[in-house]
Amino acid sequence: MEVDDNKQDGKLQREQGTEEALSDQKVMAGEALDRRNVWEPSVYYALGKESFYFAGHNISIRESMDAYGALIWPGAIALCQFLENNQHQMNLMDKAVLEIGAGTGLLSIVASLLGAWVTATDLPDIMPNLTFNLLRNTKGRSRYTPQVAALSWGQDLERDFPSPSYHYDYVFAADVVYHHECLADLLKTMHHFCRPGSRTTLLWANKIRFQSDMRFTESFMSSFNATLLSELPQQEVRIYKATAKE
């Protein structure tokens, strides 16, 4: 009887998890479709393009409604603003920067314009639009030509990014916490690039939407030497800074 009860409890937990994931996906879809809820006044929406002004340059971003990764989310804008306004604290000049879940490339573009040597990563199907936006906005403007690489969280990390060969001063991630089934792999990926002895600083910006965001934040805070760097209550965005636990 106890075994049957345990099976029933496990089934109930899985069903509840599935319902929560479906509900959260509906929220994300609604946020993606409602392009009128613009919280940043320097952003103008027109025909799948967004225009920004960062690091002394006009930036034009091509979006697509085909995937969440092809849209710009509040966390990316917030982290761009933070980097531009706190260059004395986060000087990116000649620093090696990796962005995971780069999406449209806005954050990588701004980091590149601020003098960093940037590698922007995302899933293979995001690569064409990411590459287009990066080249369009950095050619002739940046100290280094940004690189693009495919990266599936948690998969073949040591093969594709072997730790002795790949070292980054900073790892950036913005609004990457929304696919429930990928969160363990996301944390694994963060650990791979921000490992003991690496002296890598991880900056993660996220809009708080779901209970899964809070659970991931708890795991993140306990896994790294992490601090809350900045909080924007109106946008519900938090920016965290983390280093590996030695």
At residue 230, the 3 state secondary structure works out as: strand
Q: Evaluate whether residue 123 is within a structural domain.
A: yes
Q: Measured between alpha carbons, how far is 112 from 108 in angstroms, rounded to an integer?
A: 6
For residue 233, being part of any structural domain is answered with yes
User: Within 13 Å and on the Cβ side, how many CA atoms surround 159?
Assistant: 7
125-181: pLDDT as tens digits: 999 999 999 999 999 999 999 999 999 999 999 999 998 889 999 999 999 987 668
Number of domains in the chain: 1
Check residue 120 and give its pLDDT: 98
Rounded Cα–Cα distance for residues 126 and 124 (Å): 5
Q: SS3 of 57, please?
A: strand
Average pLDDT, the chain: 83
The Cα–Cα gap between 59 and 81 comes to 13
Residue 22 lies in a domain: no
Residue ranges making up the domain that contains 45 = 35-244
pTM of the model: 0.81
Radius of gyration of the chain (CA): 18
Cα within 13 Å of Cα(111), Cβ side: 31
Helices (H), 86-164: 106-113, 127-138, 157-160
**At 9, is the pLDDT very low, low, confident or very high (cuts 50, 70, 90)?**
low
Domain-embedded: residue 8: no
pLDDT band at 7 (very low <50, low <70, confident <90, very high): low
Q: pLDDT digits over 210-236, tens only?
A: 777 888 999 999 999 999 999 998 888
Q: Which CATH number covers residue 236? A: 3.40.50.150
User: What gap in Å lies between CA 60 and CA 43, rounded to an integer?
Assistant: 10
Confidence class for position 41, pLDDT limits 50, 70, 90: very low
Residue 235 has what pLDDT? Answer: 82
Question: Rounded CA gap, 109 and 77, in Å?
Answer: 12
Tell whether 163 is covered by a domain.
Answer: yes
- For residue 98, is it within any domain? yes
